[in-house]
Amino acid sequence: MSDGVTTATIRVAIVDDDQGLREDLAGLIRRWPGLTLAGTQGAAEAALEELPGLKPDVVLMDINLPGMDGVECVRRLKPLLPRTQFMMLTVYEDNDRLFCSLLAGATGYLLKRASPAEIVQAIYDLHAGGSPMTPQIARRVVQHYQETRPADTARQLEELTDHQRVFLEQLAQGYRYKEIADNLGISMDAVRSYVRRIYEKLQVHSRTEAVVKYLGR
């Protein structure tokens, strides 16, 4: 299922108020090789309190939580967990809510009716650098950044080195981190270094933000 690109164990947290679904997802994570359960929470408030200490690699976040919703929860957690990837869980493709989730720092989304194999593959894809979303939502994010990008975006892009631009172009083309490492002949440590430096220069917190800022140039 990991198609050979993921060797380290991926720590997954689940935030969903539906206890049955939460337990089903937790059981799936526990059973699947290469995945480990970092924790489960039934509300955004509990996630805000517990996840910063757990530092999961991937969070499956229900978009429609009672009280504080999943969008606001991601917005508050992302600065505290810049390396964590957030995948929104949704019953149906609500483009407006999902668009807001991506702007808040989520990297993709997953329909709750997805099969166990699809859920696991989405986790692997997200962890490997993918951004599961429809082209329609991706275009909205790009358009948003084109219309609202700050005046210093051009300066930030100019500060990128030639090698960082090549790396960012690979990201924009949808390659996974392992594929970029192979394409450019660099190590995964070098990939992580590129990601960190590009995020710092562009003042972004996710692959999605970096790519749309680059595409909006």
Over residues 91-146, the pLDDT tens digits come to 877 777 777 887 788 888 888 888 898 899 889 888 877 776 656 666 666 666 55
- Report the alpha-carbon distance of residue 173 to residue 161 in Å, rounded: 18
Summary mean pLDDT of the chain: 83
Burial environment of residue 70 by CB neighbours within 10 A (0 to 12, 13 to 18, 19 or more): buried
Q: What predicted TM-score, i.e. pTM, was given to this entire model? A: 0.65
Weakest mean pLDDT among 143-157, 170-184, 201-215: 143-157
- Report the alpha-carbon distance of residue 194 to residue 197 in Å, rounded: 5
Would you give the DSSP letter of residue 152?
A: T
pLDDT per residue over 14-31, tens digit each?
999 999 999 999 999 999
SS3 70: helix
According to the model, what pLDDT value does residue 6 have?
A: 41
Weakest mean pLDDT among 49-53, 78-82, 199-203: 199-203
Confidence of residue 3 (pLDDT cuts 50, 70, 90): very low
Average pLDDT over residues 188-210: 82
Quote the CATH superfamily of domain 10-133. Response regulator (3.40.50.2300)
Weakest mean pLDDT among 40-54, 135-149, 185-199: 135-149
Average pLDDT over residues 60-86: 91
User: What CATH topology corresponds to 148-215?
Assistant: Arc Repressor Mutant, subunit A (1.10.10)
According to the model, what pLDDT value does residue 138 have?
A: 65
According to the model, what pLDDT value does residue 55 have?
A: 94
Check if the beta carbon of residue 86 is closer than 8 Å to that of residue 121. Answer: no
According to the model, what pLDDT value does residue 5 have?
A: 41
The segment(s) of the chain belonging to CATH 3.40.50.2300 are 10-133
Residue 197 has pLDDT above 60, yes or no: yes
Q: Torsion angle, CA of 1/70/102/182, rounded to 10 degrees?
A: -30
The segment(s) of the chain belonging to CATH 1.10.10.10 are 148-215
- Tally Cβ neighbours within 10 Å of residue 139: 12
**Better pLDDT: 176 or 116:** 116
According to the model, what pLDDT value does residue 4 have?
A: 39
Cβ neighbours for 83, distance < 8 A, ≥ 6 positions apart:
57
